[in-house]
């Protein structure tokens, strides 16, 4: 090869690579321990810095391919530095499923995977849920008006009304 036959240098171009996004680890969602008839308190631990949290919950355990609950999930947000969130407005005596993920405070597209799913049941309360109320008859008054001229005497035995003179 001829080492003296060279072309001129090309013009100088520059490029900037995007900053490397640190991957976030999912928070650890604890099993809920405080439930009322309309709320469940969630708590978690997290090792990420500068993150907010997205909580998602549903009455169904089904998740789709991206890990989101697939049956009418409800989102909730928790602020940076928080480790607890009270989810309110729930139905009594109902099982709810929860998971949480971290979201970078500086890049909202940088999200961790969802945490493991935990569940909790709201307590029964008031009407519509919980244990049914039972009432027992302890006494009664009996009064009636005879609609015929001939009145047959009646008595009660073992809580049954019986004709004293059956024909």
In this prediction, residue 7 carries a pLDDT of 82
In angstroms, the CA 38 to CA 68 distance is 23
Choose among 156, 153, 148: nearest CA to 165.
Answer: 153
pLDDT tens for residues 96-145?
999 999 999 999 999 999 999 999 999 986 554 444 444 444 544 555 55
Stronger pLDDT, 141 or 63, i.e. the higher one? 63
In angstroms, the CA 158 to CA 122 distance is 43
Measured in whole angstroms, the distance separating CA 120 from the mean position of its chain's CA atoms is 7
In this prediction, residue 139 carries a pLDDT of 47
Does 159 score more than 60 pLDDT? no
DSSP-assigned beta bridge partners for residue 35: 40
Which of 36-45, 72-81, 86-95 comes out lowest in average pLDDT? 72-81
pLDDT tens for residues 6-27?
888 888 888 776 655 669 999 9
In angstroms, the CA 147 to CA 157 distance is 23
pTM: 0.63
Q: Please enumerate in sequence order all residues whose Cβ is within 8 A of that of 143, keeping only pairs 6 or more positions apart, or say none.
A: none
Residues constituting the chain = 167
**Residue-averaged pLDDT of the chain:** 80
In this prediction, residue 157 carries a pLDDT of 60
């Amino acid at each position: 090869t001829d080492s003296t036959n060279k072309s001129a240098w090309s013009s100088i171009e520059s490029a900037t690579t995007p900053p490397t996004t640190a991957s976030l680890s999912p928070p650890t969602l604890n099993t809920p321990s405080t439930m009322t008839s309309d709320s469940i308190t969630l708590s978690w631990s997290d090792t990420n810095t500068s993150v907010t949290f997205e909580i998602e919950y549903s009455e169904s355990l089904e998740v789709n391919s991206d890990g989101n609950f697939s049956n009418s999930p409800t989102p909730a947000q928790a602020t940076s530095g928080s480790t607890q969130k009270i989810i309110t407005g729930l139905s009594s005596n109902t099982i709810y499923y929860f998971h949480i993920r971290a979201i970078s405070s500086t890049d909202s597209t940088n999200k961790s995977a969802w945490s493991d799913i935990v569940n909790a049941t709201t307590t029964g309360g008031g009407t519509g849920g919980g244990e049914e109320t039972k009432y027992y008859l302890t006494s009664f008054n009996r009064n009636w008006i005879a609609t015929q001229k001939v009145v047959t005497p009646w008595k009660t035995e073992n809580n049954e009304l019986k004709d004293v003179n059956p024909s």
